[in-house]
Chain A
């Protein structure tokens, strides 16, 4: 396990939790038999939620779009198995979000199952050095990634096409492929790198081409010697470099990875492209290669089911939407001393109250911890030892943030940059007093965000007031004017909001027709115009992203209806 490769590159601070990879690191990816039903969540990514594009009791084939959104920062969802849709219902994802789901009951005949499915997703031939990336334009790759519904498979589930798009203002010179998988216990990325290194390399090359970066480096922690070997071999003769990194948590954090490989510092509140970098997970690369080279959407992913609380830990290739309970059953079920079922890894994963939760694109694993592992230590007082400061990969002062949270003191929380925290859990892991530091910091963040929202609202109200008073300057009649000003304020936002709502369904239906003049999608979309009228949030990114053609008619229509 701890075969030292003499890697020195890493970030400052951090911790060394038990790796726990031994459960399944050697277990080859198994294909889960097609489940009887899946439930496809309509929001599996960061960004705008999808709307269902299929009606209930329709037959769908694996790979059909079942949900899509118009917003740029969003990704469509696809049927992961063939079958019949059922009525839309709701579920609560492990992160606490309530989202609508499209249930699909499996048909008897599935287009791909077992080994054929494995070969289609991970196996088979991948061209690597023969790959002619010039055959695709950047726009084509972005479009294909969008259509395939690819999002970051490392867990954050940020729509990949947004990252891939080449932006003239972002001077991106380096593309980093994140193969660290620093989260203990999880091995899904490791297995993908071992079993399908060529797809990862292909994806990396396509992403390199698409982002317009000059360099692409895959970063892997040194506790994955097999993956390193496999990728080095696969990357021969291509532009892809492999960099071995020290095994340390959270090496796979975006900012930590950038710091380890490039010694660049992403500004607080900024994104990697602020320092000329984009970071994509290895699993995402593999999915991207499949989307572009095989024209297959993201319907399956590798999920690690692991931990001492699982009878037979496994790495599984599963359809998205299958329930956690089914995966756990397939792995022999829980052991007697199972204590926590965690969606994700033990450092940042969410515990589940119910196992009846669908796997999403961001589900990298299920970790079941036993009572021995999570035995609660008695919480004691902070002794200000400062170990949390010594371990924080972002160089924050967790103990002060926790104190600020306890006293609801947003001022202190802001002074200590609470919003910079990424909740990696290093501080809570090391804390000798077993304080729930991450939980407290989350609370402080909530307070700070609430405060900011309040301030923003106040400022906006002030601005509106100022606007109203300037507008009413002419008919100045002293006291009566003030009274009139108020209803004005209230009326204005309404006026502005309404036309937008009315205008949107129309314009949304139209570009859809123009863009994709195929499929059954049309009638359903037109059938549900009201629902799609989601205001502001969606509208903004749309305007930024989709140029002229679509944006202009919107505006003109909106202004017309206003008149």
Chain B
């Protein structure tokens, strides 16, 4: 846009003023020529795509810390494998597509982190690597790269490995066979609820669910850590607040309704804190690329996820439903965008015309 038009008239007429023409004393790289460009001439220097991505990484720190505390070094190894593979695949696929190196924008690292945090602590190395490859390749690059993908890349990767390596990803994979760790030898809360239809023997109490000292995928255990990171994201305006609000509200409402109907033994609060809902609400559903752009659309998107999570948990064979809920709602985003065009101040012009 900015054509570098040099104009002789731009030279000040007074004697003492130096000409703003290419001079040896020119600042840095830019030639001091008058540039013609469209308005606005100011841009927010702080808010960039990079910053949004790095905000997510920062916001994930508490979640990562909790996962290391609960699952030990296995968590760190898992995350490192996923992040590294994602970066490598991003560079590789980008090169194959003939695009400039894009790992600097931080989105690949975020995908790797989210994917890693959604895997069980026992997942073998190949699961992480393949999941990352699918996430970056099928989830993002084939669509044209960052900004064009329809589905959340991390969830695409996770869905792929979950269906491909059922044994390594299933409910059984979470439980340590020979360990002594009281947390790791226990089934995940949601699996527990699924298996023992009669009672809730050994279901962790709400406080444990909140703090996160129970079994589950690496990042999902602690509601507290997700809340801290999520609030940071929202305060920095790197994530839309409408989405988590929608997810949480719909989860509570639906879980409550299903509970009243006697379809699930868990209370709404147990549903909210027992699985990946809070983590997903703040970190997975808020992926800007795969969520609607307008406030109402975002809320509906979140609410759809919350409702689907409960429906899947209660009615499907899987103990958890967040991943499929997110992917299903991702597919609806273009429609949601269309249905929730905000009303312009003053009403739609088309209606008047």
Contacts and interface: CB of A to CB of B under 8 A. Distances in A.
Contacts of A339: 30, 32-35
B42 interface: yes
Interface residues of B, number: 67
Interface in A358-390: 367, 369, 371, 373-377, 380-387, 389-390
Interface in A377-410: 377, 380-387, 389-390, 393-397, 399-400
Contacts of A442: 38
Nearest to B41: A346
Contacts of B32: 336-339, 371
Contacts of A394: 344-346
B34 A268 contact: no
A352 B346 contact: no
A269 B345 contact: no
Classify the interface of chain A: helix, strand, loop or mixed.
loop
Interface string B283-319: 0000011011111001000000000000000000000
Interface stretch (B58-66, B143-151, B204-212): B143-151
A358 to B, nearest CB: 13
A311 interface: yes
Classify the interface of chain B: helix, strand, loop or mixed.
loop
Contacts of B48: 377, 432-434
A386 B337 CA distance: 11
Nearest to B34: A341
A195 interface: no
Nearest to B25: A336
Nearest to A268: B346
B350 to A, nearest CB: 5
B350 A329 contact: no
B298 to A, nearest CB: 7
A415 B17 contact: no
B267 interface: no
B350 A417 contact: yes
Given A184-B42, A334-B20, A270 B288 contact: no
A434 B44 CA distance: 9
A355 interface: yes
Contacts of A374: 35, 37, 41-42
B164 interface: no
Interface stretch (B5-13, B126-134, B224-232): B5-13
B36 interface: yes
A267 interface: yes
A99 interface: no
A133 B342 CA distance: 45
Contacts of B344: 268, 394-396, 417, 420
Interface string B318-353: 000000000000000000010001111111111011
Contacts of B289: 383-384
A309 B33 CA distance: 12
A355 B42 contact: no
A381 to B, nearest CB: 3
Contacts of B9: 325, 354-356
Contacts of A373: 41-42
A438 B288 CA distance: 21
B95 interface: no
Contact of B12 (A18, A329, A356, A415): A329
Nearest to A349: B39
B195 interface: no
Interface in B11-30: 12-14, 16-18, 20, 23, 25-28, 30
Contact of A438 (B30, B38, B144, B349): B38
With most chain A CB atoms within 10 A of its CB, the pick from B41, B289, B345 is B41
Given A383-B289, A394-B345, A397-B341, A355 B10 contact: yes
14 contacts: A184-B42, A268-B352, A341-B10, A346-B41, A348-B39, A356-B9, A371-B30, A371-B32, A387-B47, A387-B237, A397-B341, A414-B349, A417-B348, A418-B349
Interface of B: 1-2, 5, 7, 9-10, 12-14, 16-18, 20, 23, 25-28, 30, 32-45, 47-49, 51-52, 105, 144-148, 237, 240, 288-289, 291-295, 298, 337, 341-350, 352-353
Q: Which 10 A-B pairs have the closest CB atoms?
A: A333-B17, A425-B40, A381-B147, A333-B12, A268-B346, A386-B293, A385-B288, A346-B41, A439-B38, A417-B349
Given A269-B349, A383-B289, A425-B40, 10 more contacts: A334-B20, A336-B23, A337-B32, A339-B33, A353-B5, A376-B2, A381-B146, A385-B49, A429-B44, A438-B40
Interface of A: 12, 15, 17-18, 184, 255, 259, 265-270, 311, 325, 328-329, 332-342, 346-356, 367, 369, 371, 373-377, 380-387, 389-390, 393-397, 399-400, 414-420, 423, 425, 428-434, 436, 438-439, 442
